[in-house]
């Protein structure tokens, strides 16, 4: 929004929200109706019918630029401006398609009501020549002076300041203007289009090509990375007057009073408004190499639909938590876009035979360690369901993870944290079901690694532990361990028992499992008070009887079933210790509810923390977590680098009663500005009674 919004700031269809596309429906039906119905001798008009496919092409074209730009800037190579993008900018630029809707309506009405605008030929050379000449002359000239006038304080504060709110630009920043400003631009761009019409030289390719040219140049000029080769200007020197570069326009967003040109800088040369540092910034950006991060978080997409929620996908979707049942767009993504999702899923795995950079952040720890950490998130091109097929996919996925670790080590990365299923899911004494023993396999295969591998188990356990100890209840709490005995679960069992909290362990296979857990962590050779207290508070489920009516806290993992969930007593508190919340995968029950959330229970988030404001360039959500919240496994790698901790945090890291890692990592997280995220999960859309 401009600092002092003027007349015609809001788009007319803003109140319609996501239903704004309905405005195009009558025109699309009208253009296609002659194919199916007889309408008073009216014949089908190809050029009129192509309007809708052309609008779709413009959306796809813009989205390609968005994804490509975000991919390139995350790697820092040829990046022009090192300014962060925040959620506020993403929200402000989420209406970039309004421009396409407006121009689509204009095209439909023009071809419908302007005499001679229908049944256009495919190609007219004379019309294209006219368009080139008119754009180079009147359009570029008038735009230059219109743009300069928009920088006058009166118009700037009411209109153009909305566009300049984005310092670090993205391709879609190019069309983020108030409605009134867009009308002025449309009148300018209509000069060649109307001239072709009135001279009888209009053609389908002429109209579509001109608009595509505008889209291409707009997106390129705002992409924040330089890629126009210098050899182009060396071979053809005159091009510098008629072809701008991304760095050229980037200076306009940082200096404001220079480089006003639309796409052709010649008018900046003529009127002496070209920024003197234009050539220097262009050359510097081209020479900029890819920077090596200090910390890498290794993750992967969860489902084929989740690719749209990645930072490289749809910007507005990536800025919101990925919750299937609560997402208003999920129906469209699931059922309307499924052919595209299917094809993309195949290409996704074939094109990416190795990890790719998903996101880049900066941690400016100026108040504690005075460090500046460069952080990247890398993704393995595999989905969650492929990790579960251990016998078929384990070798391939482990190879991808190992290659990512070796690449990171070669690049000088200090710490790599394993996220989601990129580490062991089942505790190792369940033979044959582990993935890579929480990263220990890679250390054993590559003993000379300098990089530190972190599985984040200690911080995840610390968050769950403090969630339990901070519960406000008048009843005594008993903890029910209802998931698999993973490394995090074993951390929690020991820590809770040592704090005097009863932990009831559900037997997975036989009593031998309980005995192994008990003997592994609570050594019978120790007679300390803590050890004895731990032994007395670890109880097998068959020996537990809740005669005192204690408040139950159920610690659950991603394989916790909806049937077990419904069997829990009232007022149960569910706290996941896995990376994926179990209720995302609950099946429908007889009442037809999809993600069953009971109104008589409380649900906590997966282990996560609120990030500090000095963790910059965060403008996408991590899976189902809300904004400015990150998972414990992702944060653990940052803490390891900030604290310069020696050694790895992975494998079967045995805990002893004097091991203070949980308290140590918890204190470090608070010291560096992270805050507990204890907010219970909202019971939205699918609440049922017990």
SS (H, E, C) 359-410: EEEEEEECCCCCEEEEEEEEECCCCHHHHHCHHHHHHHHHHHHHHHHHHHHH
CB burial of 403-441 (b: ≥16 within 10 Å; e: otherwise) equals ebbebbbeeebbbbbbbbbbbbbbbbebeeebbbbbbbb
Find which of 42-56, 186-200, 320-334 is predicted with most confidence, using mean pLDDT: 186-200
Beta bridge mates, 99 = none
- Give yes or no for residue 387 having a pLDDT over 90: no
List C-alpha distances in Å: 39 to 30, 36, 117.
Answer: 10, 9, 19
Of 211-215, 396-400, 427-431, 508-512, least confident by mean pLDDT is: 427-431
Which one has a higher pLDDT value, 224 or 341?
A: 224
Task: State how far the Cα of 419 lies from the Cα of 633, in Å rounded to an integer.
Answer: 6
Q: Is there a contact between 267 and 141 (Cβ–Cβ < 8 Å)?
A: yes
3-state class (DSSP) for residue 614:
coil
Find which of 384-393, 453-462, 598-607 is predicted with most confidence, using mean pLDDT: 453-462
Task: State how far the Cα of 320 lies from the Cα of 434, in Å rounded to an integer.
Answer: 32
Q: Is there a contact between 576 and 554 (Cβ–Cβ < 8 Å)?
A: no
CB burial of 59-71 (b: ≥16 within 10 Å; e: otherwise) equals eebbbebbbbbbe
Parse the chain into domains and list their residue ranges. 14-227
Average pLDDT value for residue range 644-657? 73
Task: State how far the Cα of 197 lies from the Cα of 207, in Å rounded to an integer.
Answer: 10
pLDDT tens, 591-619? 444 446 788 888 999 999 999 999 999 99
Average pLDDT value for residue range 617-646? 95
Q: Is there a contact between 610 and 677 (Cβ–Cβ < 8 Å)?
A: yes
Of 182-186, 282-286, 362-366, least confident by mean pLDDT is: 362-366
pLDDT tens, 151-166? 999 999 999 999 999 9
Q: Give the per-residue pLDDT at 439.
A: 83
| pLDDT range class, residue 329, cuts 50, 70, 90 | low
Q: Give the per-residue pLDDT at 620.
A: 95
Question: What sign results for the dihedral spanned by CA atoms 537, 541, 542, 545?
Answer: positive
Q: Give the per-residue pLDDT at 37.
A: 77
List C-alpha distances in Å: 518 to 99, 499, 592.
Answer: 65, 16, 41
pLDDT tens, 176-190? 999 999 999 999 999
- Give yes or no for residue 641 having a pLDDT over 50: yes
Which one has a higher pLDDT value, 442 or 274?
A: 274
DSSP secondary structure code for residue 223 in this structure: S
Residue 535 CA to chain centroid, in angstroms? 44
Of 41-45, 397-401, 644-648, least confident by mean pLDDT is: 41-45
675 phi, psi to nearest 5 deg: -130, 150
Q: Give the per-residue pLDDT at 521.
A: 57
Burial category of 530 from C-beta neighbours within 10 Å (exposed 0-12, middle 13-18, buried 19 and up) = middle
Which one has a higher pLDDT value, 152 or 389?
A: 152
Which one has a higher pLDDT value, 111 or 433?
A: 111
| pLDDT range class, residue 327, cuts 50, 70, 90 | low
Residue showing tokens 């200690």: 458
- Give yes or no for residue 265 having a pLDDT over 90: yes
Q: Is there a contact between 71 and 79 (Cβ–Cβ < 8 Å)?
A: no
Average pLDDT value for residue range 549-567? 86
In whole numbers, what is the pLDDT of the chain averaged over residues? 86
- Give yes or no for residue 524 having a pLDDT over 50: no
CA neighbor of 225 nearest in space, from 83, 351, 60, 352? 83
Find which of 475-484, 594-603, 613-622, 644-653 is predicted with most confidence, using mean pLDDT: 613-622
Residues 6+ apart with CB under 8 A from 660: none
Average pLDDT value for residue range 64-87? 94
Average pLDDT value for residue range 538-561? 80
- Give yes or no for residue 503 having a pLDDT over 80: yes
Q: Give the per-residue pLDDT at 549.
A: 67
| pLDDT range class, residue 654, cuts 50, 70, 90 | low
Which one has a higher pLDDT value, 568 or 634?
A: 634
* % of the chain exceeding 90 in pLDDT: 59
Pair of tokens at residue 653: 């890291």
Average pLDDT value for residue range 413-435? 69
CA neighbor of 442 nearest in space, from 487, 405, 410? 405
Task: State how far the Cα of 365 lies from the Cα of 367, in Å rounded to an integer.
Answer: 6
Q: Give the per-residue pLDDT at 546.
A: 66
**DSSP string covering 148-172:** HHHTSHHHHHHTGGGGGG-SS--GG
Average pLDDT value for residue range 2-27? 92
> Within 10 A of 613 (CB to CB), how many other CB atoms are there?
10
CA neighbor of 230 nearest in space, from 217, 222, 240? 240
Average pLDDT value for residue range 560-588? 85
Q: Which helix (H) or strand (E) holds 515?
A: helix 511-521
Task: State how far the Cα of 394 lies from the Cα of 224, in Å rounded to an integer.
Answer: 39
Task: State how far the Cα of 581 lies from the Cα of 561, in Å rounded to an integer.
Answer: 11
Pair of tokens at residue 487: 């490394």
| pLDDT range class, residue 333, cuts 50, 70, 90 | low
Average pLDDT value for residue range 415-440? 69
Strands 356-365 and 615-616: antiparallel
Q: Give the per-residue pLDDT at 43.
A: 84
Rg of the chain over Cα atoms, rounded to whole angstroms, equals 30
Pair of tokens at residue 683: 């019971």
| Residue count (the chain) | 690
pLDDT tens, 490-501? 888 888 888 888
* % of the chain exceeding 70 in pLDDT: 85
Pair of tokens at residue 548: 């005192």
| Long-range own/partner contacts, residues 543-548 (CB < 8 A, 24 or more apart) | 544/478, 544/502, 544/504, 546/478, 548/476
Task: State how far the Cα of 372 lies from the Cα of 615, in Å rounded to an integer.
Answer: 10
Residue 318 CA to chain centroid, in angstroms? 4
Q: Is there a contact between 150 and 181 (Cβ–Cβ < 8 Å)?
A: yes
Strands 502-505 and 538-540: parallel
Q: Give the per-residue pLDDT at 628.
A: 95
CA neighbor of 609 nearest in space, from 415, 467, 416? 467
Q: Give the per-residue pLDDT at 340.
A: 75
Task: State how far the Cα of 132 lies from the Cα of 138, in Å rounded to an integer.
Answer: 10
């Amino acid at each position: 929004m401009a600092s002092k919004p003027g007349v015609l700031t809001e788009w007319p269809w803003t109140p319609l929200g996501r239903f704004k596309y309905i405005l195009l429906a009558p025109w699309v039906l009208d253009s296609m109706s002659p194919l199916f119905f007889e309408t008073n001798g009216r014949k089908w008009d190809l050029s009129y019918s192509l309007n809708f496919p052309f609008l779709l092409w413009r959306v796809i074209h813009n989205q390609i630029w968005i994804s490509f730009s975000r991919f390139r800037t995350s790697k820092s190579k040829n990046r022009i401006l090192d300014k962060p993008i925040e959620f506020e900018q993403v929200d402000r630029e989420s209406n970039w398609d309004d421009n396409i809707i407006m121009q689509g309506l204009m095209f439909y009405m023009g071809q419908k009501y302007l005499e001679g605008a229908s049944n256009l030929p495919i190609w007219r050379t004379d019309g294209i020549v006219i368009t080139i000449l008119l754009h180079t002359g009147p359009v570029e000239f008038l735009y230059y002076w219109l743009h300069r006038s928009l920088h006058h304080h009166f118009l700037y504060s009411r209109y153009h300041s909305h566009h300049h709110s984005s310092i670090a630009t993205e391709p879609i920043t190019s069309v983020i203007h108030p409605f009134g400003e867009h009308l002025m631009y449309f009148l300018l761009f209509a000069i060649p289009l109307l001239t072709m019409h009135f001279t009888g030289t209009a053609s389908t390719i002429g109209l579509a090509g001109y608009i595509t040219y505008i889209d291409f140049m707009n997106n390129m000029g705002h992409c924040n990375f330089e890629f126009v080769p210098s050899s182009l200007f060396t071979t053809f020197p005159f091009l510098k007057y008629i072809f701008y570069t991304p760095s050229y326009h980037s200076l306009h967003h940082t200096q404001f009073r220079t480089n006003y040109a639309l796409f052709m800088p010649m008018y900046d040369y003529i009127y002496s408004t070209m920024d003197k540092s234009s050539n220097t910034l262009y050359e510097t950006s081209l020479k900029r190499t890819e920077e090596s991060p200090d910390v890498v978080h290794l993750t992967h997409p969860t489902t084929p639909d989740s690719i749209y929620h990645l930072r490289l996908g749809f910007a507005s979707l990536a800025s919101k938590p990925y919750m299937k049942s609560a997402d208003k767009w999920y129906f469209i993504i699931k059922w309307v876009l499924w052919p595209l999702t299917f094809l993309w899923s195949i290409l996704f795995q074939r094109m990416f035979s190795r990890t790719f950079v998903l996101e880049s952040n900066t941690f400016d720890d100026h108040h504690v360690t005075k460090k500046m950490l460069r952080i990247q998130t890398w993704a393995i091109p595999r989905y969650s369901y492929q990790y579960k097929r251990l016998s078929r996919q384990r070798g391939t996925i482990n190879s991808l993870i190992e290659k990512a670790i070796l690449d990171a080590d070669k690049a000088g990365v200090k710490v790599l944290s394993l996220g989601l299923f990129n580490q062991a899911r089942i505790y190792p004494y369940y033979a044959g079901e582990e993935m890579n023993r929480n990263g220990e396999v890679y250390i054993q295969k590559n003993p000379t690694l300098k990089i530190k591998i972190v599985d984040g188990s200690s911080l995840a356990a610390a968050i769950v532990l403090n969630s339990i100890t901070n519960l406000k209840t008048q009843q005594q709490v008993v903890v029910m361990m209802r998931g698999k005995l993973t490394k995090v679960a074993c951390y929690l069992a020991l820590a809770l028992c040592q704090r005097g909290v009863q932990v009831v362990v559900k037997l997975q296979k036989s009593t031998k499992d309980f005995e192994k857990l008990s003997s592994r962590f609570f050594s019978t050779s120790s007679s300390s008070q803590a050890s004895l207290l731990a032994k007395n508070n670890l109880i097998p489920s068959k020996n537990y009887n809740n005669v005192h009516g204690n408040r139950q806290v159920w610690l659950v993992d991603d394989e916790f079933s909806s049937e077990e969930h419904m069997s829990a007593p009232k007022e149960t508190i569910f706290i996941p210790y896995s990376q994926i919340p179990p209720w995302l995968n609950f099946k429908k029950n007889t009442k037809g509810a999809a993600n069953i959330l009971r109104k008589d229970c409380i649900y906590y988030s997966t282990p996560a923390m609120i990030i500090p404001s000095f963790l910059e360039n965060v403008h996408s959500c991590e899976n189902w977590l809300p904004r400015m919240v990150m998972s414990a496994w992702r944060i653990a790698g940052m803490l390891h680098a900030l604290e310069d901790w020696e050694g790895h945090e992975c494998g079967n890291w045995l805990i002893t009663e004097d091991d203070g890692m949980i308290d140590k990592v918890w204190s470090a997280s608070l010291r560096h500005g992270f805050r507990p995220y204890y907010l219970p999960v909202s019971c939205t859309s699918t609440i049922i009674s017990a």
